[in-house]
Structure 1
Amino acid sequence: MFFRETREEEEYIRRMFYKVREKRRRRITLKKKSDPGQFAIPCTVQGIEFPHALCDTGASVSILPRVMADHLGLQVEPSQELFTFVDCSQKNSERIVRDLEVQFGNALVPVDFHVLDVKLNWNSSLLLGKAFLSTVGAVCNLQTNQLCLTLIDPNAHYDPIPVKKPHTISRRINDA
């Protein structure tokens, strides 16, 4: 009886081994991809061109620098929102611009911008958040690294801008 049970267990173990080995053969291994960069799109606000307005799927709001709002002479409303950024810094949004028309090609899209006192970069000074991306039907395909604003032009695709990593030097405390 002992030998019969042992043979049955051996056969069971052998079947399980082949079953697991077959699963491993069918398993696929995907290649790891690097960061595609930032999706930025060209737009125009009141005649001023912004060649790289940043589309941020993680931003709950759209942001316009205070300097730009003042330069454009925009109608602003008071706001009491406090924003906490990834680096744990905080900024108050004292003002908001509602329904600012932003032009993409021949389409005008109303966008609510929170006005923040942030460092200005004239090339990419607009941050477009999730509400905007939803409004324009944005589809972000990370496999092909393209962004499409389907409700504006389903045939236009935007490639990401490579992320420039800050150059840092790592040193130990005791290094001179």
Structure 2
Amino acid sequence: MRNNESSAILQKKLQPKLKDPKSFTIPYTIGNSYFDKVLCDLGASINLMPLSVFRKLGLGEAKPTTISLQLADRSIKYPRGLIEHVLVKMDKFMFPTDFIVLDMEEDKEIPLILG
């Protein structure tokens, strides 16, 4: 049974709830290529890779796709393809990730978007 004193002690030890960041950056490695900042967008549901980055990484051929994407500015884009099971590394964890390849301008600071 909890009394008022123990309840007050528990409440003092709890950390305040942080605001939802919606997006943040993390370091990321694909093959031998290290990306200092990759955007993690909690509002997105796909992973985007610019065509220029895809070509630099030499990941082979992208699979054709018929999807269309509506971007934040309401424009419609048609991807160049899909690459599946790209082995990525974050810190000491490695896992396969799928990317949509989009012919878009590469952001030199944050070249990939994870959703």
Residues 38 and 54, structure 1, Cα contact 8 Å, conserved in 2: yes
1:49 aligns with 2:16: no
Match of 1:70 among 55, 58, 67: 55
1:93 aligns with 2:90: no
Mapping for residues 17-166 of structure 1, pairs under 5 Å: 38-75=23-60, 76-129=62-115
- Tell me the TM-score normalised to structure 1 length: 0.51
Task: Give the match's secondary structure for 1:68.
Answer: helix
CA distance in structure 1 between the partners assigned to 2:72 and 2:22 by the alignment = 17
Q: How many residues are treated as equivalent by the alignment?
A: 97
The alignment-based identity, stated in percent, is: 32
CA distance in structure 2 between the partners assigned to 1:122 and 1:43 by the alignment = 14
Q: More helix per residue: 1 or 2?
A: 1
Residues 64 and 115, structure 1, Cα contact 8 Å, conserved in 2: yes
Determine which structure has greater relative contact order: mean sequence separation of CA pairs < 8 Å that are 6+ residues apart, divided by chain length: 2
Residues 38 and 114, structure 2, Cα contact 8 Å, conserved in 1: yes
| Structure 1 gaps, min length 5 | 1-33, 130-176
